[in-house]
Amino acid sequence: MKLHTSLDHLGSVIVGHRIGGQTVPGEERLELADPARVARLTGSPDGGQDWIDEAVAVARAALNGQWRATKPVERGRLLTAISRAIAANEDRIAAIETLCMGKPLKQARGDVRTAARFFEYYAGVADKIEGETIPLGQGMLAWTELEPVGVNAQIVPWNAPLAMLARGLAPALAAGCTVVAKPAETTPLSALILSDICTAAGLPDGVLNIVLGGRDTGAALSGNADVDHVTFTGSVAAGKKVMASASQHLASVTLELGGKSPLVVLRDADLDRAADGVVRGIFWNAGQICAASARLIVEAPVAEPLLDKVVERAKRLTLGHGLDDPDLGPLASKAQFHRVGDALVQAERDGDTVLLGGKPAEVTDLPGYFYPPTILRTRPDSQASRREIFGPVLAVSEVPDAAAATELANDCDYGLVGGIYTRDMDRALAFARALNVSQVFVNGYLAGGVETPVGGRKDSGFGREKGLRGLQAYLSTKCTTVTFSE
């Protein structure tokens, strides 16, 4: 029943680029599939260079046209209207997101609410983007204005398609930018619905444009010389290419490239609370989140009791079709399924011990890409404890004390987020200061919301998203100095 209704929702989306307020159909070149049933859902065009160039030209014209003339307060009102319309479409968008990406429906609903919240949050900012005056003394006056950075490219991943697009789009629009977005090739439909919502809410034509396609289309977008800022979320390898091509025309970039985030549990922690945080942190969205707590670092005296609690909770997690609202859906694609499988083969080679899971899961009547919650006790240099897997795989390491925990937490190529569970606030705050990441969670992994900034250090990239800091990438400071007789 749910599947039937969801397929009806799917049929309500016209699959085609959205450029200048028009729907542009194209030849079907890409397939969208339900990763739980391994069944084709629909086809999608691959825009390539020509449609990217067209969309960027349209975005440039819109930037210099009606959008520039739209007052900040009106931009804010538009964002409010978009937020409300996203919330009103929650059932439809969440069902489509689940069908294309696999995640449990309640998590897809959470993503839709987060997307609505991004627009609500940045709606309140649009008319408060204020400059400053600079004292230069008699006969001189200087002030700054924060102008939109220009045409913004959003290259979007597949793990939370609508929420990730909203995370960049809402501040870009609040700042007065125009946007060309390229959703991930496997999950583009929620972006199309969002574009239609924006048009219906009154966003002027050309302010938001969506070009469908794969990595070559993404490369054409980051390489377009008329793009001023590129916002990219995805793999390190693709992020480096995006940065290299943006550098050819000196566009600025925000790169959010994932992580291998440490979660430390000290001997004095509330172990039930910590176990809840560990399980949520790594098995939410089947581990396919950039901030997943993929490395559990635990003080040796509490390792066994903590692992008992984590394993017991993980065993209770259910798998199934996302529309049936299990705890874990399938992995998002065949490629992702193989990525996790390869990582587990490597873990065996490295001598890691499987405490739970470790093999693909059989789910009745569903041939899809399922992996169960997997827990590995890892050896110090094993790849499973260092490389991002982006699946439901927890790598556990034991350490003798808090100092060793901090050292191991920092011994990583990535630097996105990290967490700690302890009742000792001195230790918690010392850890927070010492950890080389952008966001730290104390006694509540992944607490916070659209207000709290996050971004990369080291291989996790750079730039900040969310919160007021997340607006900065979309603004360019201009200083005007006047000399006058006084």
Q: Are strands 178-182 and 252-256 parallel, antiparallel or unpaired?
A: unpaired
DSSP state of 28: -
Q: Does residue 256 belong to the site contacting ligand NAD (CB under 6 A)?
A: yes
Q: Which stretch binds ligand NAD (CB under 6 A): 59-67, 232-240, 353-361, 466-474?
A: 232-240
Count of CB atoms situated within 10 Å of the CB of 400: 10
Rounded Cα distance between 100 and 41, Å, is: 8
Q: Does residue 269 belong to the site contacting ligand NAD (CB under 6 A)?
A: no
Q: Does residue 242 belong to the site contacting ligand NAD (CB under 6 A)?
A: yes
- Please identify the residue of the shown chain whose CB is closest to the bound ligand NAD: 218
- Please pick, from the candidates 47, 171, 204, 234, the single residue that binds ligand NAD as defined by CB under 6 A: 234
Instruction: Identify the residue whose tokens are 């964002």.
Output: 79
Q: Which stretch binds ligand NAD (CB under 6 A): 169-177, 253-261, 361-369, 438-446?
A: 253-261
**What is the smallest separation between the CB atom of 272 and ligand NAD, expressed in angstroms?**
29
Each residue 177-196 as x (binds ligand NAD by CB under 6 A) or -, in order, gives -----x-xx-----------
284: nearest Cα among 235, 317, 308, 261 = 317
- Please pick, from the candidates 390, 421, 431, 474, the single residue that binds ligand NAD as defined by CB under 6 A: 390
**What is the smallest separation between the CB atom of 215 and ligand NAD, expressed in angstroms?**
3
DSSP state of 328: B
- Please pick, from the candidates 77, 273, 334, 339, the single residue that binds ligand NAD as defined by CB under 6 A: 339
**What is the smallest separation between the CB atom of 202 and ligand NAD, expressed in angstroms?**
28
Q: Does residue 281 belong to the site contacting ligand NAD (CB under 6 A)?
A: no
Q: Does residue 215 belong to the site contacting ligand NAD (CB under 6 A)?
A: yes
Q: Are strands 417-421 and 262-265 parallel, antiparallel or unpaired?
A: parallel
Task: Kindly calculate the radius of gyration of the chain based on its CA atoms and give it in whole angstroms.
Answer: 23
Q: Which stretch binds ligand NAD (CB under 6 A): 6-14, 153-161, 301-309, 435-443?
A: 153-161
Q: Does residue 456 belong to the site contacting ligand NAD (CB under 6 A)?
A: no
Rounded Cα distance between 434 and 173, Å, is: 35
Q: Hey, which residues between 393 and 432 contact ligand NAD (CB under 6 A)? A: none
Contact (Cβ atoms closer than 8 angstroms) between residue 283 and residue 260: no
Instruction: Identify the residue whose tokens are 């919301």.
Output: 449
- Please pick, from the candidates 83, 159, 178, 438, the single residue that binds ligand NAD as defined by CB under 6 A: 159
Count of CB atoms situated within 10 Å of the CB of 298: 27
Handedness of CA 143, 146, 148, 150 (dihedral sign): positive
Which residues belong to the active site? 256
395: nearest Cα among 448, 437, 351, 430 = 351
Rounded Cα distance between 243 and 262, Å, is: 27
Q: Does residue 470 belong to the site contacting ligand NAD (CB under 6 A)?
A: no
178: nearest Cα among 211, 154, 145, 142 = 154
Q: Which stretch binds ligand NAD (CB under 6 A): 73-81, 217-225, 321-329, 419-427?
A: 217-225
Which residues contact ligand NAD by CB under 6 A?
155-159, 182, 184-185, 214-215, 218-219, 222, 233-235, 238, 241-242, 256-258, 290, 339, 388, 390
